[in-house]
Amino acid sequence: MAATGSQAPLGGTRVSASPAAAAGRPALPPLFDDKQAKVQRLITAKEKSGKTFSQIADEVGLTNVYTAQLFFNQQQLQPNTVAALRKAVPALTDDDVDDMQRVPHRSFNPEILQEPSLYRVHEAICHAGDSIKALINEHWGDGIMSGIGFFGTVDKAVGLDGEPRIIITLNGKFLAYTEQKVEGNIAQRKD
C-alpha cells in the first residue's frame, strides 16, 4: 500500500518531497532525510550535556565508538542501558529514547569520504588491507572479522617525539568460511 499525504509507512518514514529536493539539492530517500533530522536531535541533546562521547560512554558502560554510533543512529539502544544514558544525557526526550531503541537503518552518506579525517582512516585501511588480510589468514585461516560481534574504540596516546597519536582499535570475532558440503545444506532441493 503506498503512503500518501502525512501517512508514515515502515519505520516512520514519510513519503514526500524532501527539504533537499525543495531547495534544489539532490534528494536523499525520505528515510535518510528522517535519519538526518533524528541524528541532529540526538547530537543536540548530547551537546546540551556538555560531555564528550567518551565521557558518556564511561558513565553508561559502553565503548566510546558504540556510544557515538547510538547518537548517529547506527546502533540500537538496549533496554538495560536506557536509565544510564538518560542520566548521562538528560536532554534526551522520551521520543529520542524510543527512536534510539528501534532497529536502526544502518547506512552512511557516500559523501562521508570527503571528510579528511574519515578519508585518512579509509586510506590507511586500503593501503594496509592486503597485509591485514594476509595476517588474518596466517593466524586463523580463511575468514573475516565480524561486524556483528564487534567492538571499536578510539583512544589517544603520546608518541616518542611528544606528538599526539590516535589509537583506533577494531576488535571483531573471527568468522571462518565454511566448505559447502551437501550434507550440511539443510535447505537443499528435493527432486
Catalytic residues, by residue number, are 120, 123, 146
Count of alpha carbons within 13 angstroms of residue 3, beta-carbon side = 14
Residue pair 56/88 in contact (Cβ under 8 Å)? The answer is yes
Closest by Cα among 87, 116, 120, 81 to 101: 81
Give 44's strand partners.
Answer: none
Q: How far apart are CA 69 and CA 75, in angstroms?
A: 6
Count of alpha carbons within 13 angstroms of residue 141, beta-carbon side = 6
Side chain identity at residue 28, one-letter code: L
